[in-house]
Amino acid sequence: MQTLKISLAQLNYHTGNFELNTSKIIQQILLAKSEGADLIVFSELCVCGYPPRDFLEFKDFIHRCTLSVNAIAEACVGIAAIIGSPTINPKFEGKDLFNSAYFLADGKVKHVTHKTLLPNYDIFDEYRYFEPNTVFEIIEYKGCRIALTICEDLWNINDNPMYIKNPMDELIKQHPDVMVNIAASPFSKSQIENRRQVMIDNVKKYQIPLFYVNHIGAQTQLIFDGDSMVVDKDANLHSQLNSFTEDSGLYELNISDKSVKTLHQQKQKNASTSIENIRAALVLGIKEYFRKQGFQKAILGLSGGIDSAVVLILAIEALGKENVRVVLMPSRYSSQHSVDDALLMAKNLGVQYDIISIEETFNALEKTLAPQFGKLPFSVAEENMQSRSRGIILMAMCNKFGYILLNTSNKSELAVGYGTLYGDMCGGISVIGDLYKTEVYKLVELINANEELIPNNIIVKAPSAELRHDQKDSDSLPDYDLLDKILFQYIEESKGPNEIIASGFDEALVIRILKLVNTNEYKRLQAPPILRVSQKSFGFGRRMPIVAKYLS
C-alpha cells in the first residue's frame, strides 16, 4: 500500500516579520519530520504574512521573501513542504508579482504554483498587486499526484460563478490523487460554515480528498480563525483543526484508494455557536493588536452603558485585568445609577479605575465660548463638547502612561453617525464597531451565561449618551430591533431603498435612516480600525464616496 503522510500546520504569522515567520515555519518542518511526515503544508503568503498590502511594492520586501524561502528550502531534506510567498513575474507584461505556492523538497525549490483567481472585492485587493496564473500543472511527489491551489482558486464552485475559469477544472484533467489548498481566509460570522461547505462541494465535484490550511491570528482589522481541515473522498469532513489557535495534525493518505486516516491531532473542542465564535474572534483581535504592535496596557471610558461594559469584559479576557484600566467621567447629565453601575462593575472585576468628573472642563469650555455662543440655545455643540472633553482626558492618560485606548462604539451608532469625532470615536482599535446593537445584547447573554459579569442594571436600562437631561437614543432613533434590520439590508445586503421598503418597512423611516448612513461616511473614514466579524465591516472593505448625492 502506497501512502503519503501529510502534516497540516496552522500557524500565526506577523506581517513583515520575516525572522519570526521563517523560524516558526522551519521549527514546524523539523517537528513534522520527526513525526514521520512526508509533506507539511502551510498557509497562503505565510512567509511574509497576510495581507502585506503595499509592502509588496518594495523591492526589498520581495527580496527578503526570497531569502526566507531559500532558508526554508534548506530545511526540507527528508521532508517536503508547501509554503506561500509572493514571487516575481519574469515577463515584461502584466503585474510584477504572482501570489505563489512553493513546493520545496531535497533542500531546494521543486515547483512553483501561482494563484489563478485574484479576489478584488470587499477587503481583498489582490489584483492591485498580482498577475493571475495561466499555467496548470500538478505536482508529483512520492507516487502522489497533487493538485495545488491557493485560497480563492477553490471558491468558484457555486451556481453563480464570479470568474470565467476554474483552476480545478484544468487540474483534474491530469488525474490528481489529492487537492491541497493553502489559504488566507479571514473570519466573519458566516465564513466558517460557508468555507466548510465550499471545500465539501469541491470534493463532491472532483471526487478526491482535500487538505486545506488557513491562517490564524489577526492583522489589525482582519481576524483569521484557522479552521484548517481535511475532507475525505466521500465529501465528509474527516478532520478540522481547532479554531482561533495554532494547531497541527498528521494524516495518512492512501494513494491507491484515496482514503485518509488521522495519525495525530490535538483534541477537538466542541463546536461553537456563531456568537461564541464572535467572542473568540474579538478577544483574539484585541490580543493580537497589542502583541504584534508591542503594546501592553489598555484603557477605556466606562460609562455605565452596555457597550463599554462588553468591551471591558473582552479586554480583560484578551489582556488580563492587570493590564486594563477604566475611567468613569460623569457630567451634570450623568444619571447616578450609570455611575454606580460602572463603579460596581469595575470593583467586581478588579480593574484599576479612576473617577474624573468632566464638569470643570465643560464649564471652562462653556465660559470660553460664551462670547461666540451668546444666548443661543443648548444644542449638539454642547453635547459634543462633553464627549470631546472625555476624549481629551482618555488620550492624555494614554500619552502619560502608555495606554492604548479601546473604542467602544457599536456598528449601529457608527452607521447613523451617533458618535462624536475626536470624542467617543477616539481610539487605537474599535472593538465592537462591527457589531450591531442587537448583536451586542446577544454577546451580553453569552458573557453572563454562567455568572453576572455585567450587572443587570446596565443591561435593562434604556440606551442613552447622557449628554442632556433625560436623553434616550429612542428620542431620535427607532428601536434598535427595527433600526438594525434596516441597516443590515442596506449595509450587508446592499439593498436599495425601494427593496427595503418593499420588504415591509415604513418609507419615510427607511429614507431617513439611509440618509444618515450616507451623510456620515466622513466620520467613519476618521474612525479607528474596526475588528472585522461580518462580511461587510466599515473600513477598507466598504468603499463609499464621501462627496456624493445618493439619498442625501
Active-site amino acid positions:
44, 115, 151
Rounded-to-integer distance, Cα 330 and Cα 390, Å: 9
Calculate ∠ Cα 482-485-487, nearest 5°: 110
Cis peptide before 51 (omega within 30 of 0): yes
Helices (H), 178-273: 191-206
DSSP 356-404: ---HHHHHHHHHHHHHHHTTPPP-HHHHHHHHHHHHHHHHHHHHHHT-E
Rounded-to-integer distance, Cα 68 and Cα 457, Å: 55
Report residue 532 as a C-alpha cell: 472585522
Residues β-bridged to residue 350: none
Signed CA dihedral, 529, 535, 541, 547: sign only: negative
Rounded-to-integer distance, Cα 80 and Cα 7, Å: 10
Strands 404-407 and 429-430: parallel
Strands 229-231 and 210-213: antiparallel
Report residue 396 as a C-alpha cell: 492624555
Q: In whole angstroms, how far apart are CA 355 and each of 55, 311, 348, 457, 511?
A: 43, 18, 16, 20, 41
Q: Is the distance from CB of 97 to CB of 129 less than 8 angstroms?
A: yes
Spatial CB neighbours of 81, under 8 Å, sequence gap ≥ 6: 25, 29, 39, 40, 41, 42, 72, 75, 102, 103, 104, 105
Q: Is the distance from CB of 85 to CB of 102 less than 8 angstroms?
A: yes
Rounded-to-integer distance, Cα 264 and Cα 252, Å: 10
